């Protein structure tokens, strides 16, 4: 079946950006063969040599900063200041793994009865990455930097609406001197993505798969990897709680709430989405929160002062409008006062609602855009119950002047990360990932360095059968 073009569209204006020829099955398989061949020599290099390549990629990212930022802003509407910061963070991740990764991958000696025994982290081979549109560079680089350092090769299937970014990443790697075919991007038309992904996962030349995306996509990829008995890493949705305890600095918490919810126009899996505040402070918090949202600068994402741009696609904005309308019909109250002048289908007015219940769409579902819900609770125990009333478990933040109290509350919440008096964010130095239906596996930090490795045991005997031989 022929899939001629992938078309990208500027969500800010609705104008077409580019048409990219879609790869047919034979071209995809040929690319996989080239990447497989390249991985053999890449994996044989010393880790310090691969680290030098990461340093070169970091330099190239910084050199092409403006070009890459402009492309992200055009393809998915990210405010240009945030696009610039995303490029910087990608370069930082490469530098981090170049400096710290070799130590995490180093052989670890273990004292046993043998003459020598040790644990080694060796490359798996070719790793398929299925990546989302919301952070078009960062999602890929946080996968690619440790994956490449470990000696694997990468095969990227990016979201079709950021195809230009996918090809730009491959170009940056090539310009930085990465050997040919160690990292390649596939251009696949949307309707062909499920079949192509399953075909690749089933292919013996693909050793593992990493996906960041929706719960539905994660279930499909996880099932395919399970059938093929291959390692998978899934970073899926989130509906992070942001808990304001009775003794919190409410002004500080409200200002942080605006940053946490509305970064990237609210299109982030780790953004706070459910704001749970003690009844004694909820009115003050909601008023400050809504007032802070009302003064956000909404408009042309290419302007340096813009804080909120369009959503990445019209269908995403339409789904968010459905969630808001459903919740308002059920009794939710809109607390923000602004409206936006843009008329395009991808635009959504940043909105805060309260008077919500746990069964409303804004609390029950993941809201992936500039929409926040505030929910009152009577005590810390109720805050914990509300925080855990979700199938997701990515991040959580707790706000209190008493750190011990905040940690006590936070430890009762199921999540992959807990932030106290701080906005949840990923950091190259710390592991990142979720639990429950937010996925499994860890990226970043030393854990991310070894995630896609064969943890191999080596034992050298002393010429005699040691105790315990013959047991499992």
Shared domain for 278 and 377, answered yes or no, is yes
Residue 430 lies in a domain: no
Among 374, 394, 420, the domain boundary falls at: 420
Amino acid 1: pLDDT: 43
Establish if 31 belongs to a structural domain. Answer: yes
Who wins on pLDDT, 138 or 470? 138
Tens-place pLDDT, residues 277-306 = 999 999 999 999 999 999 999 999 999 999
The CATH number of whichever domain residue 29 belongs to comes to 3.40.605.10
Q: Residue 466: what pLDDT?
A: 55
* 470, part of any domain: no
Is residue 431, in this structure, part of any structural domain at all?
no
Q: Domain tally for the chain? A: 2
C-alpha–C-alpha distance, residues 368 and 132, integer Å? 13
What pLDDT shows up at residue 271? 97
Domain that holds residue 326: 240-420
213 and 245, same structural domain? Answer: no
The angle formed by the CA atoms of residues 360, 426 and 232, to the nearest 5 degrees, is 80
Determine, yes or no, domain membership for 357: yes
156 and 282 in a single domain? The answer is no
Same domain for 450 and 362? no
CATH of the domain at 415: 3.40.309.10
Residues with active-site annotation:
235, 269
Band of residue 3 on the pLDDT scale cut at 50, 70, 90? low
Evaluate whether 45 touches 151 at the Cβ level (below 8 Å): yes
Q: What is the pLDDT of residue 222?
A: 98
Whether residues 269 and 128 share a domain: the answer is no
Distances in whole angstroms, Cα of residue 185 to Cα of each of 33, 126, 165, 349: 13, 13, 10, 34
3-state class (DSSP) for residue 127: strand
Question: Stretch 52-67: mean pLDDT, rounded?
Answer: 98
Instruction: Name the β-bridge partners of 308.
Output: 298
Write out pLDDT tens, residues 381-412.
999 999 999 999 999 999 999 999 999 999 99
Residue 463 lies in a domain: no
Q: What is the mean pLDDT of the chain?
A: 96
The predicted model gives 211-220 an average pLDDT of 96
- Residues 218 and 339 reside in one and the same domain: no
**Residue 425 is assigned to a structural domain of this protein:** no
pLDDT of 464 reads 65
**102 and 172 assigned to the same domain:** yes
222, 85: one domain: yes
Query: The pTM is what?
Result: 0.95
In this structure, the answer to whether residues 166 and 268 fall within a common structural domain is no
Residue 468 placed within a domain? no
Pair 229, 244 in one domain? no
- pLDDT tier for residue 345 given thresholds of 50, 70 and 90: confident
Mapping DSSP to helix (H, G, I), strand (E, B) and coil, where does residue 133 land? coil
pLDDT in the model for residue 462: 77
> What's the pLDDT at 54?
98
**227 and 278 share one domain:** no
Helices (H), 106-203: 138-149, 163-175, 193-202
Do 15 and 65 fall into the same domain? yes
């Amino acid at each position: 079946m022929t899939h001629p073009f992938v078309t990208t569209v500027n969500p800010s204006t609705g104008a077409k950006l580019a048409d990219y020829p879609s790869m047919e099955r034979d071209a995809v398989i040929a690319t996989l063969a080239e990447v497989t061949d390249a991985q053999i020599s890449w994996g044989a290099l010393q880790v310090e040599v691969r680290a030098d390549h990461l340093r070169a990629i970091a330099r190239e990212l910084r050199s092409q900063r403006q070009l890459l930022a402009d492309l992200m802003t055009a393809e998915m509407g990210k405010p240009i200041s945030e696009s610039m910061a995303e490029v910087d963070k990608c370069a930082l991740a490469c530098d981090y793994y170049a400096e710290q990764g070799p130590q995490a991958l180093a052989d670890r000696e273990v004292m046993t009865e043998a003459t020598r025994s040790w644990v080694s982290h060796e490359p798996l081979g070719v790793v398929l990455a299925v990546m989302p549109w919301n952070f078009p560079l960062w999602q890929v680089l946080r996968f690619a930097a440790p994956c490449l350092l470990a000696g694997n090769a990468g095969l990227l299937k990016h979201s079709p609406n950021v195809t230009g970014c996918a090809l730009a990443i491959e170009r940056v790697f090539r310009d930085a001197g990465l050997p040919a075919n160690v990292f390649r991007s596939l251009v696949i038309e949307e309707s062909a993505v499920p079949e192509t992904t399953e075909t690749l996962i089933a292919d013996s030349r693909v050793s593992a798969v990493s996906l960041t995306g929706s719960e539905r996509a994660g279930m499909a990829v996880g099932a395919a990897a399970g059938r093929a008995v291959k390692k998978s890493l899934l970073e899926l949705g989130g509906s992070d709680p942001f808990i304001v305890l009775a003794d919190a600095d409410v002004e500080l918490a409200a200002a942080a709430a605006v940053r946490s919810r509305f970064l990237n126009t609210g299109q982030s899996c780790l953004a706070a989405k459910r704001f749970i505040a003690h009844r004694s402070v909820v009115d003050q918090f909601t008023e400050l929160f809504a007032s802070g949202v009302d003064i956000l600068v909404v408009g042309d994402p290419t302007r340096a002062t813009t804080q909120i741009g369009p959503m990445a696609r019209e269908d995403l904005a339409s789904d968010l409008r459905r969630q808001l309308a459903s919740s308002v019909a059920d009794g939710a109250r809109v607390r923000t006062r602004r409206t936006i002048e843009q008329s395009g289908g991808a635009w959504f007015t940043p909105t805060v609602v309260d008077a919500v219940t746990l069964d409303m769409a804004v609390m029950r579902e993941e809201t992936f855009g500039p929409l926040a819900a505030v929910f009152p609770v009577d005590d810390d125990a109720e805050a914990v119950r509300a925080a855990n009333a979700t199938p997701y478990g990515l991040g959580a933040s707790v706000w209190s002047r008493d750190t011990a109290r905040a940690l006590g509350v936070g430890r009762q919440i199921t999540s992959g990360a807990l932030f106290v008096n701080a906005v949840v964010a990923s950091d190259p130095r710390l592991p990142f990932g979720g639990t429950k239906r937010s996925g499994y596996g860890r990226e970043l930090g030393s854990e991310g360095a070894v995630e896609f490795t064969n943890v191999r045991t080596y034992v050298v005997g002393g010429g005699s059968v040691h105790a315990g031989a013959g047991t499992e």
